[in-house]
Amino acid sequence: MKYLQLLFFIVFGITNAQSTPINDSLKGASYLDLENKFYDYNYKGKSAEAGLIAEYYLHKAKREKNNPQIAEAYAYKCINANKENAFKYIDSMALVAKKISDNVYPARIYLLRANIFFKYDNQKQALDNYIIGLKYAKQKGNKRQIALAETNIAYLNSYVGKHAEAAKVLRYYLVNADYLNENEIEKIRTNLADTYIEINKMDSAKILITEGLQAFKKADPYKYHQYLSLLTFYNLKMGKFQAAAESSQKSKQFFLKDGDTRDITYSFFYVAQAYAGLQQKEKAAENFVKVDSIAKKDNYTFPEQREVYTYLIDYYKTKEDKQKQLYYIDRFLAIDKVLDSEYWYLSKELQRKYDTPKLLAEKQAIIQDLKIKKYLFYTLIGALILLLITAVILFFKARKAEKRHRKIAQDLIRAVEENKPAPYTIADTSSEEEDTDLTPTSFSNESKSPIGKPFELIEVTDTTESNNKLPKSLPQEATEPILEALKKFENKEQYLTKGITLGKLAKNINTNTSYLSEVINVYKEKNFTSYINDLRIDYTLNRLVHDKKFRSYKLPAIAEEIGYNSVQAFHMAFKKKTGTTPSIYIKEIEKQIIDKNN
């Protein structure tokens, strides 16, 4: 809790933090140099030197009529000014900011005012200005200012005892705000360690404290003693009062020389608590009296201040010192009234102005998310229903197709067994790729071989009809030798040869490809590829019925034996020729054999 206030003044540089050297060396210094030097002096407690830098910065900016830098200079000047002058500088900054068009103003004005109010112990006004600053920061989309506003509001949440809510915000920004500077991240870290102790996450607090002590032991005495003070608070919570007394005395000596009111007050407060835990009542009372003295002198209040007076009232009661008892009762009542007023206001306004709007925004986000999820859900359901309908249609189509294929296979088997012409033909044999369902029709004796005698060709005896079929480009004397050669080609089952082509066959029968192609087209009424495929499939249909061993082959082996390079080519040719598949055809043969045996 103590550390939620400890570094508030650091946030006065709500944008980039940097500055420069002094005296004659300031001439020619850039704004960045001046900024770096200002923060360096200010951090080291050299407020007079920092004030000179701020004054020169303002002079340089006005000379160059650089409005953004003029506004920046007023921000630097308000940091070390008293309350009245600080607000005057912020008002001057606000006038200049009206001429500036960026995403920093007006949020920065309200955040700076909030810091001043908090510095001078006015949490009510601080909260109001943080919330207004947060609103403008969100409107301008300034992530840095949003983070600063929300972390400072988190410190106020911790002030009224909402440590868990504060820890949640601080933990988020500690790991998700690389746009904050080192001091701002460090402020978050120390306050997070403090809230962890408040909510009894002691292991998490110890990790942060140990890391801080190791990092700053030599590099930065001020930050080191901040972590030493946190270690004191940790030890007090753990009941390690002797260790707390030792560490608190060290931090007290340091802050008496280099700390502000808050540092010094909490140093005495921790020393007093440690001695109280060690039952050294006189030393505890002595340090609690010092706490009250500092708080009264600087008009400073803090949440744990009630403990100071309850201890002193009890202590002086045992001493039977009525006058001091009465004095600390009055102090308790006055401070309690102030703390109650602040607590009531902060609790009420945090809920009304910050928590409720935030919850409403989260509610809207959740509602929108649910709408999207609902839309996606119904879309998914619709797609699944459509998919299911499609699957059902495809299933019934497949069942219907399978039934049709089985019927075709049964008719083909019967035709082979009865040595009759096949009952199906192909609608179009001109396309090698087409996979067309067949319709029942008788094979023409002029175009198809009987399934039972797949290799017999119908000899042409009517030369007049033959002559009529011949195109003018094909001499009659060349036709009969080609037909005779094709008859031998079929009877010897040479069509089963793998890789057979029109050219190879033409060469084997001593003719040219043109003549051979025209004879096949006219007399077989198909192109060469269909001619070979039909011969192979007729052969396969017949052999599968009569040859059990051949029927036991896997499809790739069957395809290989009848001249196909792949099982896919065989399957396509079979389906195109018959209207069913090799697998169904074989299954129906086996089924009929089983039925006959039964």
For 547-560, how does the pLDDT look when each residue is reduced to its tens digit (9 = 90+)? 999 999 999 999 99
Burial class (CB within 10 angstroms; exposed 0-12, middle 13-18, buried 19+) of 512: exposed
**CA–CA dist 351, 57 (Å, integer):** 41
Q: How many beta carbons lie within 10 A of that of residue 136, not counting itself?
A: 21
More confident residue, 467 or 145: 145
CB 266 within 8 A of CB 2: yes
**CA-CA distance, 348 to 331, in Å (whole number)?**
25
The percentage of residues in the chain with a pLDDT greater than 90, rounded to a whole number, is 53
pLDDT at position 273 over 60: yes
The confidence band for 23, taking pLDDT boundaries of 50, 70 and 90, is: low
Tell how strand 424-425 and strand 439-440 pair up: antiparallel
Q: How far apart are CA 256 and CA 268, in angstroms?
A: 10
Note the pLDDT of residue 440: 31
Task: Say yes or no to pLDDT of 538 above 60.
Answer: yes
Residue 269 contacts residue 312 (beta carbons within 8 Å): no
Burial class, 314, CB count within 10 angstroms (exposed 0-12 / middle 13-18 / buried 19+): middle
Which helix (H) or strand (E) covers residue 439, if one does? strand 439-440
CA pair distance 368, 449, nearest whole angstrom:
72
Q: What is the pLDDT of residue 41?
A: 84
Q: Summarize the confidence of residues 352-372 as an average pLDDT.
A: 65
Predicted confidence band of residue 356 (pLDDT cuts 50, 70, 90): low
Q: How far apart are CA 112 and CA 108, in angstroms?
A: 6
Task: Kindly report the average pLDDT of the chain as a whole number.
Answer: 82
Is the Cβ–Cβ distance between 581 and 574 less than 8 Å?
yes
Compare 10 and 552 and report the one with higher pLDDT. Answer: 552
pLDDT digits (tens, 9 = 90+) for 484-524: 999 999 999 999 999 899 999 999 998 889 989 999 999 99
pLDDT score of 92: 94
Burial of 364 (0-12, 13-18, 19+ CB in 10 A): exposed
- Inter-residue contact 535 to 490 (CB < 8 Å): yes
Asked if residues 227 and 250 have their Cβ atoms less than 8 Å apart, the reply is no
CA dist., res. 133 & res. 145, Å (int): 8
- H or E element that contains 528: helix 528-546
Structure tokens given for 540: 């396969």
The pTM of this model reads 0.56
Alpha-carbon distance values, 36 to 22, 219, 305, 375, 382 (Å): 12, 18, 37, 54, 62
